[in-house]
Structure 1
């Protein structure tokens, strides 16, 4: 094993549907009745907020969900949490699991 090997890409990809949802909500607002408008405007604000979230935050939420499902209540970046992540997602390398765990801990702070 070389210390200078090429870094592996992250295995958890963040899927972003929020821009498509924002576009659809804006279109719906164009033809909305006065009764529909407040709900659509609120939905649009929420979708715009979601579209602005960084990938690290979304991966952090993914990690916390996995840990909660496993019953883990300790820190997201603990050794036990990293073991749980690797058991839950066998394709994760140690480096990936540690990176995700650190993102989750930083997002919670």
Structure 2
């Protein structure tokens, strides 16, 4: 095995169904009754919010869910966190786990 091998493609893909959901909710609002309208409007607002989030944020949430499920509470980019992440998802390479952990830590350290 070479230290200079080509990096493997990142295997975590952020699934983006939100745009389709936004379209469906807008169509449903066109024919909604007065009783249905408030719930559909709220669902549409929530879905539009999720649709605007960047992929790095979605990957960060994925990482944090895995760390939380394993009972890990420390920084997302520590050696222990990367070890936990790779144990939870054995298909992740070290480079992938490190990249995701760094994205997660950066997102968690960014003030709102």
TM-score normalised by the shorter chain: which range applies?
Answer: over 0.9
TM-score normalised over the length of structure 2? 0.91
Query: Which residue of structure 1 lines up, in the alignment, with residue 56 of structure 2?
Result: 56
Take 2:65 and 2:3, find their aligned partners in 1: how far apart are those partners? 34
Q: Deviations over 1:46-87 (max 9, x none)?
A: 101111111100000000000001000100100000000111
Deviation at 1:38, TM superposition (A): 1.4
Query: Which residue of structure 1 lines up, in the alignment, with residue 27 of structure 2?
Result: 27
Q: Deviations over 1:12-34 (max 9, x none)?
A: 11111111111110010000111
- 5 Å-filtered alignment, 1:1-109, equals 1=2, 3=4, 5-109=5-109
Deviation at 1:108, TM superposition (A): 1.1
- List gaps (5 residues or longer) in structure 2: none
Deviation at 1:2, TM superposition (A): 5.1
Take 1:71 and 1:49, find their aligned partners in 2: how far apart are those partners? 29
- List gaps (5 residues or longer) in structure 1: none
Take 1:6 and 1:93, find their aligned partners in 2: how far apart are those partners? 12
Take 1:74 and 1:97, find their aligned partners in 2: how far apart are those partners? 16
RMSD (Å) for aligned C-alpha atoms: 1.1
Runs of 4+ in 1 over 4 A off after TM superposition: none
TM-score normalised over the length of structure 1? 0.94
